[in-house]
Structure 1
Amino acid sequence: MNHVQFFPHFFLFLFFQYQLFFVFSLSPDGLALLSLKSAVDQPHDGSAFSDWNENDSTPCRWSGISCMNVTGNPDPRVVGIAVSAKNLRGYIPSELGSLVYLRRLNLHTNNFYGSIPVQLFNATSLHSIFLYSNNLSGSFPPSICNIPSLRILDLSNNSLSGPIADNLKNCKQLQRLILARNKFSGEIRTGIWPEFENLVQLDLSSNELSGSIPEDIGELKTLSGTLNLSFNHLSGRIPKSLGNLPVTLSFDLRNNNLSGEIPQTGTFSNQGPTAFLNNPRLCGFPLQKSCRNSEQSSPDSPNSAPAYDNNSKKGLSPGLIILISLADAAVIAFIGLVIVYVYWKKNENSNGCSCTGKRKLGSNEKSHLCSFPCINGFKNNDSEVEEPEKSEGAGKGEGELVAIDKGFSFELDELLRASAYVLGKSGLGIVYKVVLGNGVPVAVRRLGEGGEQRYKEFAAEVQAIGKVKHPNVVRLRAYYWAPDEKLLISNFISNGNLANALRVYVVRLGQNGQPSPSLSWSIRLRIAKGTARGLAYLHECSPRKFVHGDIKPSNILLDNDFQPYIADFGLNRLINITGNNPSSSGGLMGAALPYIKSSQTERTNNYRAPEAKIPGSRPTQKWDVYSFGVVLLELITGKSPEPSPSTSTAMEVPDLVRWVRKGFEEENPLSDMVDPSLLQEVHAKKEVLAVFRVALTCNEGDPEIRPRMKTVSENLERI
């Protein structure tokens, strides 16, 4: 009997020992990470931890985990946790503090709640903490500055409360402190800010901070971008010491209770009125509010009662009011009739269709281009971008030329008969310049021959591109669809691209008889600002919030005034839909237009972000930010990160970002890094340094640290 009972218990014991063996075969770092998985409430989206298996010997292959070999340790150690935007709900476990080599903690944009555990700061190798956009509560962690090398602390958009601790001054290595959109209260302490020698970003906005702005914030000489103290309850005068901050810095002091005259020294001279809005008792330039008038109209002034005109009580007679109303109505009716007549005449011949229902493509067939029926002789079109209807069989027979933009109309035969030549050839197709019969040039891009079964997908993508309308983005005007041909017709930009402009200098004699390049500093700054505006629009305001994915000088076109236009956005998706090689021979345009061998050949793209070079990675907006930063460096230095047959080796620096960073670290003279053709423009020195700073923030290796293009554009506009 005893033996019978013994064997089941024995085998059960062996089973548990077997399980424990596999659990404890996992490294200590892996066990600490499993505490994070256990801390997340169930149910949750299991994809975040789907490969976090306790039977593994190491966590280094788990999603979101990065490791590296550390001196003195035979096994790689965990140095990064990136589990962001996974809709996880739970608490942050204190066991993460045992990851002694952890450098980067990224749990942002989830639903973590509770306080930040004090034990977390036992991970003394941390240099970046991203906990923004969660539901964390409690006070500012007092022991956070026990971490000696902390560089970035972003706790924004949580529910943290209480004062900002005095011992924050011990975080001397901080570069970015972002505490916005919390419930921090009390005064901003003095004596903290002189300790920060490397702080480039300070954002305390949208809290409940009160009291005055400390004078010693003016000692933060490394700040760049924006000093943001907006949407608090700060009061008193603005310290004059803020004028000692870097010239390129901008203030955001909106929505406070600040009073008195805005100082007019140093950095204040570069601020716009928006920096000081919604401070009722603030006066002076750049606000349109005189301090003298402010004192006279102050609520505290005994003489501030409103003065009324003696005739103010005399109103207009009822008869005069009726006559004025009738006259207004008659004028409005007349204007309305004129507008209706002009609109009818315009739409009778626009958009490749008319109310007769005939297509303007050299055919008598019913038009598929009119997206709205004719009503009472007028075309009912309220949309700026046409949404052409298409039958299920579209794309299998005759091709369709579809006008996307209002007022843009021409016939297909006219396109094919027009004079044309090749502008460029790349993996995104051949681009032709075509001069229409009315003398208007357009750019025609040939996408390929495939994808005949995916018309609706293609049309939807093209319509999204067509809705993008910005002064610094190339505008799509029409497209052609047929089984053996897909074409995009867009505005032709007359002055080539930035890549060619940087290589070919048009020499002209200046007043002193010396040669000067066409790309002066003011022109380069104009190109940088315009490109940033266009790219910020694509990221933030366009219908699809586009990612370009291939920002480089050859995709930045220039007009005769050197205004930039971003080209080729959205094309990768269209190429995938057509599923064919756009540069192959044959097809409608291949037969009708002459082929000229292009000098633009495919090269290694050194404008891409480091993470973009990982196979299988998908483009992000932060890719574009990095690429734009490289373009900025090329504008300043005149050196290309890509080899070209037309440039000398002295003008090529394959790792341009590293070359510039090394130059600043070694404190090389500015003349060693700036394009020699700009050295005569002495007045631009401060502006050049400011653009260098913007570029290098774009070129941070960590994509989370890079700013949004909107911020980049705002910073450039202030230069």
Structure 2
Amino acid sequence: MTFTFFLALFFLPFSLFNHASAVEVEIRSLLEFKKGIKNDPSSRIFSTWVFPSDPTANLSDCPATFHGVSCDPYTSVVTAIALDGLGLVGELKFTTLVPLKYLQNLNLSENSLSGRLVPTLGLITSLQVIDLSGNQFYGPIPARLNDLWALHYLNLSNNNFSGWFPPGIRNLQQLKALDLRSNQLQGDLQGLISELRNVEHLDLSGNQFVGLMEMSVENVSSLANTVQYVNLSRNGLRGGFWGSDTMTLFRNLRVLDLSDNGIVGELPDFGQMPNLQVLQIRSNKLSGSLPEGLLQGAVPLLELDLSGNGFSGSVPNINSTTLEMVNISSNLLSGLLPPSSGNCRVVDLSRNMLSDEISVLMNWNDKLEILDLSSNNLTGSLPNLTQFQRLTVLSIRNNSLEGMLPSSLGSHPKISTVDLSSNRLDGLVPRTFFTSTTLSKLNLSGNHLTGSIPLEGSQTSELLVLPSIPPMESLDLSGNSLTGGLTPDIGNFARLSLLNLANNHLSGKLPNELSKLSGLKYIDLSHNSFNSHIPDGLTSSLEYFNVSYNNLSGNIPENLRRFPSSSFMPGNSFINVPGGWNNNVPDNINRRGHHSSKSSIKVAIIVACVGAVVMIAFVLLAYHRARLQDFRVRSGLCGQTAGRDVNLGKFSGPSLFRFHSSTEPPPTSLSFSNDHLLTSNSRSLSGQMEAGTEIVENVTSEGVAIGVRSTKSQEDIHPTTSGRRSSPGSPIASSPSFIDTIEQPVTLDVYSPDRLAGELFFLDASLAFTAEELSRAPAEVLGRSSHGTLYKATLDNGHMLTVKWLRVGLVKHKKEFAKEVKKIGSVKHQNIVPLRAYYWGPREQERLILADYIQGDSLALHLYGKIHCLCYIWVLSTLSLFSHSSYKY
């Protein structure tokens, strides 16, 4: 006993010396680690991580003065480094941490640090928590991390890690949470999942993992028993859903997110998952009907998001007592609205094909906070929704609602967003919208509203409850029939950032109080009858300004001369630009009384030259046609052309229907769905004409163009009628008419609606696309006839269509139009190109007929083309046989 005591006393100095030396090594390691930090906004690291300047300082003590560093209370060794959320910038060298052999917690999250993870980090086997999330670390994940047998939390999310995830994670038996989301990692998902043992939280979203969604029981058995959270969204999963035997294993699963993958097939009812609370499978390729159990309490769901798939059929009744959020928007659902909404706070059924009376909402529960029924086929008058006292967002745009707006809608105590645009509402705009203390976004565009804008009210008792600054941020009343003027009360709405009153019948002076709207970014007052001058002092933060098609006069304020001339004209013929435009913008506005004699002479010379060139061109054209006619008579081989020759042109712009505008305006229509913000932009027609081959178009007696095939090898197509509405906000514009015929040059006005509010109907179920896809399709002008203009459009998937844009006034009634189109579409013959779809817009300028594009020349070109040779007779005879059988049929 005595010998042991003396032996301990003998070795004690050596152990104390080794301990002091170990602590000193750790301090020096921390200081080396600090050298990688280049910027410390709070100076917490730079000011505290310093070597002791006192030579008598005890280096065996814990560096407790180092910010974020913790030590063991008994041994003084460093056990934790927590530098999260300090805004640090730099490139770290993790090799400097290897001497910290007792480090358990490393938290560097939410900074701007970069660097590579080194394999030697796997030598710190004491590590239990690694959180490097929210930085810019890059490179592959070293396989040596799988040697950290004590690790139970690993978070590498929101970085730039790349490469294949290393195998061997099965060694981490104590790992409870694995978060790798938002990186660039690759690998086979099934292989990774099969290695996980006791993980409870798994997030692999936002990477490039691939593999089949179907997984065997053997691959998931070790994970399924413990996992509660699974997020595999935004990867490359494909195939069908799990089988029932696999789903049975996930009895503890609470959250499942498989959004933005390529999962196909039908969805199971999830009855085998008794604890599932959140199910998100949006933006996949699922089809079939909606499982009724998901909406009727078979699973205790709180949130359900199945948007952006291909579900069809009707919407089941929602009577779950737990479900709070339902989003099944952007599917192919039809039929009626569900008779009840259960206990839901959020319901999004937008962008489907539901058809019902809007009055059904009176039977829904009073807990609704967000309701989006946009882009369906709902009808009827909007009822008083006074029972929805919690309602904050109401969006029923792009439907067929009629009648007057209920004044009580603006009186809801929590309402913040109302979007009823693109309907058929009429009557007056309720004053309560402008006296609301909560409403910040109001969109009533594209209706039939009349009367004045009820901004006046400073003398009414209603304004006594208004805050000092009304909360209105976005006001869109465009495309109505509003009259009266814009009153000075507009200056009270100081938070306005968007003001769109275009396409109304407003008149009077523009109030000087517009200059009080310091946050205004978008203002469109075009297509009205405003007069007087443009107010001075409008905010310099404006990004879009348009007062064209009015009767304004006077000088343009200097800070507005940075906008193009299209912001002021056509219209406003008495407007002036003293001193010219700022920022080298061309001066295109007509100014009165400032033309010198020298300018007048230049203009006269230019006009005379242009006139002379035109006269010479007409003479040469007449001479050419006379010689050509004389040659035809003498040759005796070709008859007179039965149609009008049309020059081919081609759009140089990227989309099918665009209109000229030198400034791309910001959104004029707001969508308030949970997951989407849909905007409607005005488009511009850009491009120049190119000379091309001449063609002639055949037209039926109803005015519908029918192509006749010149071969018999094409298969018959059997169209079936099915309706599908166009995507909301698709900016399809009307027919751009700029093709001049040889015999009679014609120039048509171009009409550009603010948004697409019509319907796209398919006559063939094998073809499906949205009007938005059609609007951005590259297009080529094929020709023009007395019935309209013909285009070749190429969709995103490469499918080519022939688009016939009918002349204004040719079609008056929708039912007759649909009847005739379906009649022609039902014609099936091997030499006739069948119709595939038709589009009916709310205005006369928007009538389209769509068919497949057939490669090769048209029948008209073969029958009436300028080919003068005897060998061409056999071609005419062959084509005559084919066309005769087609027309006879």
**TM-score (structure 1 length as normaliser):** 0.38
Which structure dedicates a bigger proportion of its chain to strand?
Answer: 2
Larger radius of gyration: 2
Higher RCO (Cα < 8 Å, 6 or more apart): 1
Structure number with the higher helix fraction is: 1
